Amino acid sequence: MAKRFHKEKYIEGIMAGDRVMLSRAITLVESRLASDQELAQQVIDQLLPYTGNSLRIGITGVPGVGKSTFIETFGNYLINHQGKKIAVLAIDPTSQRSGGSILGDKTRMDSLATNPQAFIRPSPAGKSLGGVARNTRETILLCEAAGFDAIIVETVGVGQSETAVHAMVDFFLLLMLAGAGDELQGIKRGIMEMADAIAITKADGANVHKAKAARAEYQNALHLYPPTASGWIPKVSVCSAIQDAGLDTIWQTIAAYLDQTQHNGFFEKKRKQQNLLWLHEAIRQGLEEKFYTHPQVKSLLPDFTEQVKEGQKSAFAAASELLRLI
Amino acid sequence: MAKRFHKEKYIEGIMAGDRVMLSRAITLVESRLASDQELAQQVIDQLLPYTGNSLRIGITGVPGVGKSTFIETFGNYLINHQGKKIAVLAIDPTSQRSGGSILGDKTRMDSLATNPQAFIRPSPAGKSLGGVARNTRETILLCEAAGFDAIIVETVGVGQSETAVHAMVDFFLLLMLAGAGDELQGIKRGIMEMADAIAITKADGANVHKAKAARAEYQNALHLYPPTASGWIPKVSVCSAIQDAGLDTIWQTIAAYLDQTQHNGFFEKKRKQQNLLWLHEAIRQGLEEKFYTHPQVKSLLPDFTEQVKEGQKSAFAAASELLRLI
């Protein structure tokens, strides 16, 4: 086990922007040891007054859409043109199997990884989606206390993780490829409706015309969607990471969103709602962990599950019997 | 308290299609008394082999879309033209406040309410969405055992209840008004992506042209959506309940869906997944009920909630402290 420090040392280090102490505090957050968890909670709770001052951006898109290239280019744009300090985090439940497929290979974001204004942290491996999401949410707070004022949370647009990311960011950006046919195969239904903006990537060379046609199509489709709770109308734009084009438009979209939602009060309201959501989520996770690791539940659950699945036992009768065990 | 019978009496009555015994069993399901709950579980568990043989259809749409008129007309169509026995249930969390706003007034569906081939049951009042959803799910099983072979579950397209309905039906139908502008205001984002079919209602008189234009627009928009897990491509049609028109097309759509999903195995797979989902949902509900009604939790929760909401305490620290109480 790596060395642990006194909580004051983590707090002072993070407040001073010390990246090593930030990394070590995140390691505490990700640890399964109860003592580490408790230390992490104390550190976060004391840093809480210094959190919340960043812009939290969720970015999703299926593999192949050019997500890492986009994030690297956009990250550099935020640093160089908007004076931001950025942190890039990831939620990737697949890393349970692969041992870290997104952000796992830091060399994918070479120029960001070596930039002192950027901090990149791969998705913690070997955890459930709930666990990963919780860790990422706590890591956002630590990064904010360390002075990072734009937090990018990356996710793969193929699973449940988008909902978790959507619940922890201010702005949700969906990356899409031109052509509305097969390229959509991978995107899960429901994700498009969560997007505050869609960016059509790889709008370069022979692809420019197709990308612009896709932009018009999506913009048309989006007007059929019900309005968002924020009053914001999602925007569609095109960009090319390799040509460094279109990033300014995306930033202006985000800035316009911020302006509108901070003005109408939605921004603050959403943050507060997210806080409550995470409270209830953390309670639910805690309860379920106690339940599903209970020895008697563990021994009966496989049989019960099979019977319920096959319609031999009702879901509610099975649940009642299991709940009576604890 | 109304009279309770021995469980065999409920079982025999329901198997014989006795509507009074069916109603009384549903009352047990909806009761908050532990003894009633236990009796209900025993009845359902014994009837389980006789359930599952219906087509479960979810129908949603905002107030004003003509939902009750549609369900009445479509219900009569199913009885008269498809030889079905239909049950109409409802999930309406607003009935907590109003004491039953949808299906509460049975006179809204006069001709169905008096038809011996139909059984109408309003949404149970005074319960949380989770509670209502659970009751409705169990009521579906009782209705199936009583011989009803098409179950319509009605919901208002404005809240969380659609997700609950979607998780208990085979086919999800969204009713929409012509005109893609203001009429959408009420529909919650995400609901459109759950629909297996959209029916544009009130396509009669001066409205016919507008309805057909809306159909084309929605059909265009839907092709931009990611494909469904079933491989099914959602269909859009127009109908007029007052002119009895378009119901045949909607039925043919449902029949085509059934044919496709029963053939490719998705129908069975979805039912099994739904069973498991309800098992985990029932466990979660049971755990949360125990937790949130715990006296110490109840006394501390309001303060903790406020502090978390305002960012004075982290969600995870608050959850840990509360979980330590039980």
User: Can you list the alpha helix ranges (DSSP code H) found in chain A?
Assistant: 7-15, 19-30, 34-47, 67-82, 95-98, 110-113, 129-145, 161-166, 208-222, 247-263, 266-292, 295-309, 315-324
How confident is the model over B28-83, as pLDDT tens digits?
A: 999 988 899 999 999 999 999 999 999 999 999 877 788 889 999 999 999 999 99
How confident is the model over A50-67, as pLDDT tens digits?
A: 999 999 999 998 777 888
Q: Which residues of chain A have pLDDT under 70?
A: 1-2, 93-108, 125-126, 157-159, 179-189
Q: Residues 298..317 of B with a Cβ closer than 8 Å to A: which?
A: 304-305, 308-317
Cβ atoms within 10 Å of A323's Cβ, excluding its own: 17
pLDDT of residue B93: 60
pTM, entire model: 0.79
CB contact B242 to A (< 8 Å): no
Q: Which residue, among B148, B170, B161, has the nearest Cα to B261 in the 3D structure?
A: B170
How confident is the model over B83-110, as pLDDT tens digits?
A: 999 999 988 765 443 333 444 444 568 8
pLDDT of residue B54: 97
Chain A residues in contact with B220 by the CB 8 A cut-off are 221
Cβ atoms within 10 Å of B325's Cβ, excluding its own: 12
Interface test with B, best of A139, A287, A303, A305 (most B CBs within 10 A): A287
Look at B272 and A190 and tell me if their CB atoms are within 8 Å.
no
Chain A residues in contact with B231 by the CB 8 A cut-off are none
Sheet with B55-61, edge to edge strand ranges: B118-120, B86-91, B150-156, B55-61, B171-176, B197-200, B235-238
User: What b/e sequence results for B262-285 when a residue is b if at least 16 CB atoms lie within 10 Å of its CB, and e otherwise?
Assistant: eeeebbeebeeebbeebbebbbbb
Q: Residues 45..74 of A with a Cβ closer than 8 Å to B: which?
A: 45, 48, 51-52
How is residue B125 annotated by DSSP?
Answer: S
Q: Which residues of chain B have pLDDT under 50?
A: 95-106, 180, 182-183, 185
Determine the Cα–Cα distance for residues A229 and A246; give it in Å rounded to an integer.
Answer: 27
Look at B287 and A287 and tell me if their CB atoms are within 8 Å.
yes
Look at B284 and A282 and tell me if their CB atoms are within 8 Å.
no
